[in-house]
């Protein structure tokens, strides 16, 4: 029996995943619950376990982008069944092609495979084999590209290759790519064999495998990001194939400029040539990650679909800084966690959200959903991009509990270990651009929420207090909000209330 392993549902807002890395290899025996591969969504990376014992047959290679429910791989529950399944597929193809050719010569026609529900056409990126080459079954013969990933097409039979589609040609799903005249003898003359001089070239080329100098999909991606050509890298894999490790260790070769002396007028440049700018002027092109593409799409969507405005205020941070300086040592000794600014902001926001429920709401069609709880999303800069984990029921948590939860979530974010539930369901977001030195900004709403609070850098500035000019540590705060359900009065009043609570922290403790 063969079991289809499909992309699991990993969250309400996640519709696609990318295969980051195969841990198990094609044809390898796997056990139930053993990790097969790593999947990467726009929010997190997670592992896919085997659902049964058996032989692994990989359907989607590394780098493939799949929809939820698409087949990733198949597991034949016994080695015999796996072999029988492959033999049955090859036999079916052979019978069909024998019928088409009248039984005289077996020819296998290879078509563009089905790659996913949303993919309707592909581009033939490059041929790994040449017309007239002998190819073996399951040997990659060409690469095809869709708008989501690059795939290798493997030979369905052993024989002589006859190319139908040329490089860079766009093909629809199901269109023929090539034909394979089935034979086990590379010296046997066939209808597509080349002339004598060309045959000598083919035999000479066969001493080096197709894999020599060819990069795996993962290696190709890394080399493209570095702007390095595969010809510049020496492969350490089987038969000279460029592995992921080779690509990671590869360095771009700097071409030395020829030295031109005064005694060599033959190579002197004509006076009409423009002078070359000094220094390196290189450019590089990198493919956007799934996370970056999703963030970009959502931010543009928010700007286009909401009536977003931003209101500003400033906070005197001296009372909080004095309180932290006085109790930070005893706080850390008791709770084993440092006392930061974020817990004060979270507590102040929770109180203000209770007083202004529209700021803690969201729009669903023609209805407004009000939340009686405060799930505060905290923006965190992770290695792969911005993520927003959620502190659940923050209104019920103490300062120590908030600090510990923020540290836990931030650590998991930087280690790329956040789960989907940890990043979904927030009702209000706080982002702190001040850690990077931002003085003032207009943060973009984290949909489907309707408001976000921006913290900024603390700067000592002269301010007027009781008729005198004094120096105080001041912070600008910004509230971006959706004007469709939050009026100007509510937004300004909310921000003033947050300012009031922060400048007099005793109010947070007393709830006044």
Domain ranges of the chain: 1-77, 88-204, 208-251, 290-510
Class of 208-251 in CATH: few secondary structures
Domain 1-77, CATH: 2.40.50.100
Do the domains spanning 1-77 and 88-204 agree at the CATH topology level? yes
Q: Pick from 510, 440, 501, 443: which is nearest to 475 by CA? A: 440
| Residue ranges of the chain whose pLDDT lies below 50 | 79-80, 82, 84, 88, 91-92, 94-95, 99, 101, 103, 186-208, 210, 256-271
Kind and range of the H or E run holding 363: strand 361-364
Report the CATH architecture of 290-510. Answer: 2-Layer Sandwich (3.30)
Beta strands in 115-236 (DSSP E): 121-127, 134-135, 140-145, 150-154, 159-163, 170-172, 176-182
Contact, 68 vs 42, CB < 8 A?
Answer: no
Q: Pick from 505, 511, 512, 509: which is nearest to 321 by CA? A: 505
List C-alpha distances in Å: 216 to 21, 71, 152, 235, 356. 12, 21, 9, 10, 55
Residue 201's pLDDT is 40
Residue 402's pLDDT is 95
- What Rg do the C-alpha atoms of the chain give, in angstroms? 31
Residue 288's pLDDT is 76
Residue 306's pLDDT is 87
Active site (annotated) includes residue 483: yes
Residue 322's pLDDT is 94
Active site (annotated) includes residue 214: no
Selected catalytic residue, list 53, 364, 487, 504 = 487
| β-strands 428-432, 376-378 pairing | parallel
As to burial, measured by CB atoms within 10 angstroms (0-12 exposed, 13-18 middle, 19+ buried), residue 281 is: exposed
Residue 273's pLDDT is 54
Residue 264's pLDDT is 46
Residue 193's pLDDT is 40
Q: Pick from 399, 397, 423, 429: which is nearest to 409 by CA? A: 423
Residue 255's pLDDT is 52
Q: At what angle do helices 399-414 and 341-355 cross, to 10 degrees?
A: 110
Residue 369's pLDDT is 94
406-463 residue pLDDT tens: 999 999 888 888 888 888 889 999 999 988 889 999 999 998 999 999 999 999 999 9
Selected catalytic residue, list 138, 185, 322, 483 = 483
Residue 263's pLDDT is 45
Contact, 151 vs 177, CB < 8 A?
Answer: no
SS3 content of the chain, % helix, strand, coil (to 5): 30, 30, 40
Residues 6+ apart with CB under 8 A from 37: 19, 20, 21, 22, 23, 24, 47, 48, 72, 73
Residue 18's pLDDT is 85
Contact, 39 vs 7, CB < 8 A?
Answer: yes
CATH assignment of 88-204, given 2.40.50.100, 2.60.40.10, 2.60.40.1120, 3.40.50.720?
Answer: 2.40.50.100
């Amino acid at each position: 029996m063969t079991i289809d392993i499909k992309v699991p549902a990993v969250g309400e807002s996640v519709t696609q995943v990318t295969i980051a890395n195969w841990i198990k290899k094609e044809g390898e025996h796997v056990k139930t619950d053993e990790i097969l591969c790593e999947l990467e969504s726009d929010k997190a990376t997670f592992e896919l376990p085997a659902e049964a014992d058996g032989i692994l047959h990989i359907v989607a290679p590394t780098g493939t982008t799949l929809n939820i429910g698409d087949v990733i791989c198949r597991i034949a529950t016994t080695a015999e069944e796996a072999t029988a399944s492959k033999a049955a597929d090859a036999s079916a193809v052979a019978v069909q092609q024998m019928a088409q050719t009248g039984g005289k010569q077996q020819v296998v026609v290879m078509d563009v495979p089905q790659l996913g529900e949303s993919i309707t056409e592909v581009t033939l990126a490059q041929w790994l084999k040449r017309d007239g080459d002998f190819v073996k079954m399951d040997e990659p013969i060409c690469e095809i590209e869709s708008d989501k990933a690059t795939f290798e097409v493997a030979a369905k039979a052993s024989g002589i290759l006859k190319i139908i589609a040329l490089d860079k040609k766009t093909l629809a799903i199901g269109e023929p790519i090539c034909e394979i005249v089935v034979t086990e003898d590379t010296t046997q003359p066939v209808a597509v064999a080349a002339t004598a001089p060309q045959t000598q070239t083919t035999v000479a080329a066969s001493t080096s495998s197709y894999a020599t100098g060819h990069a795996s999909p993962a290696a190709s991606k890394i080399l493209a990001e570095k702007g390095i050509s595969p010809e510049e890298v020496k492969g350490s894999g089987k038969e000279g194939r460029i592995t992921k490790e080779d690509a990671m260790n590869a360095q771009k070769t700097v071409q030395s400029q020829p030295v031109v002396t005064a005694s060599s007028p033959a190579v002197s440049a004509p006076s009409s040539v423009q002078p070359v700018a000094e220094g390196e002027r290189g450019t590089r092109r990198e493919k956007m990650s799934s996370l970056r593409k999703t963030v970009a799409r959502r931010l543009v969507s928010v700007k286009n679909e909401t009536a977003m405005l931003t209101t500003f205020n400033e906070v005197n941070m001296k009372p909080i800084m004095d309180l932290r300086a006085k109790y930070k040592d005893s706080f850390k000794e008791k709770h084993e966690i440092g006392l930061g600014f974020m817990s004060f902001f979270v507590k102040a926001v929770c109180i203000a959200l209770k007083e202004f429920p529209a700021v803690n709401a969201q729009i669903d069609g023609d209805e407004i959903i009000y939340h009686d709880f405060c799930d505060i999303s905290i923006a965190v800069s992770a290695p792969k991009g911005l993520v927003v984990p959620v502190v659940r029921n923050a209104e019920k948590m103490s300062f120590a509990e908030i600090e510990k939860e923020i540290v836990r979530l931030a650590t998991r974010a930087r280690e790329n270990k956040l789960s989907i539930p940890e990043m979904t369901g927030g009702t209000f977001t706080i982002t702190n651009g001040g850690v990077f030195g931002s003085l003032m900004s207009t943060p973009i709403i984290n949909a489907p929420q309707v408001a976000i609070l921006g913290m900024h850098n603390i700067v000592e500035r002269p301010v007027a207090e009781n008729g005198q000019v004094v120096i105080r540590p001041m912070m600008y705060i910004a509230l971006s909000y959706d004007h469709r359900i939050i009026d100007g009065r509510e937004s300004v009043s909310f921000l003033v209330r947050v300012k009031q609570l922060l400048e007099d922290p005793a109010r947070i403790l007393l709830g006044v």
